[in-house]
A and B are shown apart, each in its own frame.
With several copies, the nearest count.
Chain A
Amino acid sequence: MHRFANPTRFLRLAAAVLPFSAAVAALCLGAGLVWGLFFAPPDYQQGDTVRIMFIHVPSAMMAMGVYAGMAISSAIALIWRHAIADLIAKASAPIGATFTFICLLTGSLWGKPMWGTWWVWDARLTSMLIMLFIYLGYMALWQAFDDQTKAARAAAILALVGAINLPVIKFSVEWWNTLHQPASLITMEGPKIHESLLWPLLLMIVGFGAYYLTVLIFRVRAEIHQRRTRMLRMAQADRHNAMQAAD
């Protein structure tokens, strides 16, 4: 019964990865925060508000990255019917939605001092808001089915269709002229950020990634255990019925 793909291999791998990812997350986030908040110099234009960047930029990247991961594992699940891929996609969504929310929140906190308003309807901000909705729709679709195998396939189709939003977000700053600042970190010419800000930022980005991996492992494990409980309960009920019928 391959559909309930034997998860032991995944569990073993997860157990091996978990201590590292947890350690990297704790170290990088700790060091990055301290460095970024206390030791990095204030920006000559933005002053101390620039420190919001250390949360804002990593969460923005993770919001998109997690979605990309979700779309890839959905494709894998659809093509190869790989059960763990479904679970990875499912478990990623709430994490990604949270990153998106944090990005929106820190963005508007930053927007108030920088642009004088909490919110503007520029292309990047809007497409980020849309991404939050796609995450929510994806999660709602999972909830809407009782049958988990069906839910998995429906959600996978949605994740793939929704993936067209990713390039829209990424290139929104280039396609439309917006208030939001264009890419300065990942560009053709290399980073355009001063080194004193770059290093703590990179630390934070790695930390966010490791944090995602850690939480993901926990969530997928929980899903696997939940499914096991369900199967055991059903088997028990079937046995009980069979015994009753035999009497």
Chain B
Amino acid sequence: MSRTFLMLIRRDLLLAHRQGGGSLLAIAFFVLVVSLFPLGVGPAPEMLERIAAGTIWVAALLSVLLSLDRMFQADLEDGSLDQLALLPIPLALVVLAKTIAHWLTTGLPLTLTAPLLGLLMQLSPDAYGALVAGMLLGTPILSLIGAIGAALTVGVRRGGVLLTLIVTPLYIPILIFGVSAVEAAAQGFAISAHMLFLSALLSGTIVIAPIAAAWSLKLALD
């Protein structure tokens, strides 16, 4: 069982790699979206500093959103989702493995890129820790919630945009806590409460999301 599980993660990483620099493109999109804002909003540094945390988090959220689309869709289209569903392990574990692979190829690289964007957006030096810690806890939740949305909309007409609509509202709490942690840190306050909340959310979703997503996938295959 655990060998199959690890093998599934490796499979998705291999595919992401073969299908052309998965994480690199996610990072590029992240940087691009963040740089759109100064262009739109204007370059005044004190202005940028104020919107820095929000912009970086929103961009991370959009980058994850954009990459969710293909989480199950590609496997459905070529029939390999049938094969995954027929593996002799529970479908929820398959989903968990795919979600971990998704995080490793998007959430993690985004987290590692975030400080650089902080520099571009004139983020206050005290806030970098909170930004990275928040994203380290928050991005796995994004992948997990995203897995539910991706499973619900897989094989559905206009799935991509529908997915966005379903998932974005669920992302908002994470956005709010992530951003307020950064702002608290910038003003010298403690961020342990924020981190505690994100950790609790993570432990909750890591249990619930794979099960919910597995149910939804079964519907798509039926």
Which residues in A have some Cβ–Cβ distance to B below 8 Å? 117-122, 126, 129-130, 133-134, 136-137, 140-141, 143-145, 150, 153-154, 157-158, 160-162, 164-165, 168
Taking a contact as CB atoms under 8 Å apart, the answer to whether B212 and A161 are in contact is: yes
B158 — which chain A residues lie within 8 A by C-beta?
144
Interface residue tally on B, bucketed by range: 35 or more
A133 touches B168 (CB 8 A): yes
List the B side residues contacting A168 at CB < 8 Å.
173
CB distance from A57 to the nearest CB of B (A): 22
The reply on B188 being an interface residue by CB < 8 A is: no
Q: Is B78 an interface residue (CB 8 A)?
A: no
By the criterion CB–CB under 8 Å, are A141 and B28 in contact? no
Please give, as numbers and ranges, the residues of chain A lying within 8 Å of B85 by CB-CB distance.
none
- Asked if residues A144 and B162 are in contact (CB atoms below 8 Å), the reply is yes
Kindly name the residue among A122, A157, A161, A168 whose own CB sees the greatest number of chain B CB atoms within 10 A. Answer: A161
Asked whether any CB of chain A lies closer than 8 Å to the CB of B156, the reply is yes
Report the nearest A residue to B218, measured CB to CB: A153
Question: Given A140-B25, A153-B219, are A122 and B166 also a contact pair (CB < 8 Å)?
Answer: no
Q: What would 6 A/B residue contacts be, using CB atoms closer than 8 Å? A: A121-B38, A121-B42, A126-B38, A140-B25, A140-B162, A157-B215
B28-A133 in contact (CB<8A): yes
Partner of A120, one of B45, B148, B168, B169: B45
Contacts of B166 in A (CB 8 A): 137, 141, 158
List 16 additional contacts besides A121-B39, A129-B35, A140-B24; criterion CB under 8 Å: A118-B119, A119-B120, A119-B122, A122-B43, A126-B172, A130-B169, A137-B28, A137-B166, A141-B166, A144-B153, A144-B156, A144-B159, A144-B162, A154-B219, A157-B148, A157-B152
- Kindly list chain B residues whose C-beta atoms are within 8 Å of the C-beta of A158: 152, 166
Contact assessment for B45 and A117 in the assembled complex, using a CB-CB cutoff below 8 Å: yes
Which 7 A-B pairs give the minimum distances between C-beta atoms? A121-B43, A121-B38, A144-B156, A137-B166, A137-B165, A130-B169, A133-B169
CB of B200 within 8 Å of the partner chain? no
- Known contacts: A121-B48, A122-B43. The answer to whether A136 contacts B212 by CB under 8 A is no
Q: Whose C-beta in chain B lies nearest to the C-beta of A116?
A: B45
Which has the most chain A C-beta neighbours within 10 Å: B31, B39, B216, B219? B219
B residues whose Cβ falls under 8 Å from a Cβ of A: 20-21, 24-25, 28, 31-32, 35, 38-39, 42-43, 45, 48, 119-120, 122, 148, 152-153, 156-159, 162, 165-166, 168-170, 172-173, 212, 215-216, 219, 222
Q: What CA separation (Å) do A126 and B36 show in the bound complex? A: 10
Contacts A126-B35, A143-B20 given; does A134 touch B43 at CB 8 Å: no
Residues of B within 8 A of A130 (CB): 169, 172
> What residues on A are CB-neighbors of B28 within 8 Å?
133, 136-137, 140
Bound Cα distance A165, B167 (Å)? 12
Tell me, in angstroms, the Cα distance from A145 to B156 when the chains sit together.
Answer: 7
Partner of B169 from A137, A141, A144 at Cβ < 8 Å: A137
CB–CB B20/A140 < 8 A? yes
Shortest A53–chain B CB gap in Å is 22
| Contact between chains at B219 and A141 (CB < 8 Å) | no
Nearest Cβ distance between residue B147 and chain A, in whole angstroms?
Answer: 11
B119 — which chain A residues lie within 8 A by C-beta?
118-119
In the docked arrangement, what's the CA distance between A201 and B216, Å? 42
Alpha-carbon gap, A136 to B158, bound state (A): 15
Contacts of B31 in A (CB 8 A): 133
Nearest residue, chain B, Cβ from A130: B169
| Chain B residues, Cβ within 8 Å of A161 | 148, 170, 212
Query: B216 to A157, Cβ gap below 8 A?
Result: yes
In the complex, the answer to whether A137 meets B162 with C-beta atoms within 8 Å is yes
Residues of B within 8 A of A164 (CB): 170
Would you give the shortest CB distance from A247 to chain B, in whole angstroms? 35
Distance between Cα atoms of A141 and B39 in the complex (Å): 26
List the A side residues contacting B20 at CB < 8 Å: 140, 143-144
| A127 (CB) vs chain B CBs: closest residue | B172
A residues less than 8 Å from B24 (CB atoms): 136, 140
State in angstroms the CA–CA spacing of A136 and B35 once bound together: 16
Q: In the assembly, what is the distance between CA of A112 and CA of B159, in Å? A: 38
Q: How far is the CB of A125 from chain B (nearest CB, A)?
A: 9
How far apart are the CA atoms of A63 and B165 in the complex, in Å?
Answer: 19
